[in-house]
Amino acid sequence: GKKHKLGREDFLSLAGYMRIPPKAAVAAIDAFSRWRGKADEIIDMSFLTSTSKDKLKLIISERSRRMEI
């Protein structure tokens, strides 16, 4: 499929279109950044293979970077 390189500005633009207050949209991004550290811990404790754990961490890291977290 087609890959989309969506980032923070795209998310904030969508929030504006959906009439979500900017403060709430930024709070959602901030909540994701707080969750990110815990995500690595949960992934490490999971029953996934080492390869799958690494791939999942890479996906989360890339998406976090796109959101400028």
Dist. CA 40–CA 68, nearest whole Å: 18
Q: What is the pTM of this model?
A: 0.65
Nearest one of 68, 7, 10, 61 to 36, comparing CA atoms: 61
4: tokens are: 């989309």
User: Lowest mean pLDDT: which of 10-14, 19-23, 49-53?
Assistant: 10-14
- For residues 20 and 66, the model is more confident at 20
Rounded average pLDDT over 6-25: 92
pLDDT computed for residue 62 by the predictor = 86
Dist. CA 10–CA 67, nearest whole Å: 9
Dist. CA 33–CA 61, nearest whole Å: 10
pLDDT computed for residue 3 by the predictor = 64
C-alpha torsion angle, residues 69, 26, 14, 33 (rounded to 10) = 30
